[in-house]
Amino acid sequence: MCETHVSSDGLSLMQVRPDQGSSAPSLSDRTWRAAYRLAFAGAKLWWKLRRPHHEGALVAVHVMHNLLLLRASYRTAWNFPGGGVKKGEPPEAAARRELFEETGLTAGPLVPAARLTGVWLSRREVVHVFEWRLDELPPLCLDNREIVAARLVPLSEWRQVEVTGPVEAYLQQQDSKGSGTFCEQKVPKKLY
C-alpha cells in the first residue's frame, strides 16, 4: 500500500511506500533506476539504427481540469501512464495494464480519444490514447524505480511542462478539436 502526499502548490504529488519511511530512494531503487537508464540508452541506440515499428497505449487521466503526468527514472519529459502493446493484446487492455503497473490504479471506463502516428525516439509509432475522467485522484502507488514522480498539471498550463512527443500531439489535438472528439492524426517526425 502507498500513500500519496500533495505538495503545497496542490499540483506535485509525492508517493511514499510504507517500507521506505520517506521519499528517498533505497539502494535497491537507485540500482533499478540505473539499470532502466542504461537499458533505455541502449534501446534508443538500437531504435536509431533499426527504425522499428512500435505500438503503444496511453491513458490521459483527467482530474477535473488537470492532467496526471508521470516521470520515468530514465526520461526528463513527462508522460501519461502507458507503454507498449504486446503482440495480440488489444490496445485498451494494454492501457489498463500499464496504468495499473505504473500507478497502482484500476481504471473505470476508458474512452478512445486518439490514434496517433509519428516518429518518436527514432521509432515509427502508432499510439492509442484513452481518456479516463475523474472528479478526484485516488492514491497512487509508484514503484520509485521506473516511475519516480507524478504531478497534476492544469490543462491550461501543459505547454509549460516538457512532455513526450505523443503527449504533446494528443494535447495539441485537444486544443484544436476540443475534448471528447476521437481523432486519428499523423504527426510529423520529432525526436523525444
Tell me the one-letter amino acid at 25.
P
pLDDT tens-place string over residues 85-134? 999 999 999 999 999 999 999 999 999 999 999 988 778 889 999 999 99
| Phi and psi angles of residue 67, each rounded to the nearest 5 degrees, phi first | -120, 140
Residue 6 and residue 12 in contact, taking contact as beta carbons nearer than 8 Å: yes
What's the whole-model pTM score? 0.81
Pairing outcome for strands 53-63 and 123-134:
parallel
pLDDT tens-place string over residues 138-180? 999 998 999 999 999 999 999 999 999 999 999 999 888 765 5
Distance, in Å, from the CA atom of 61 to the CA atom of 147, rounded to the nearest integer, reads 16
Length of the chain: 192
Partnered with residue 132 across adjacent β-strands are 61
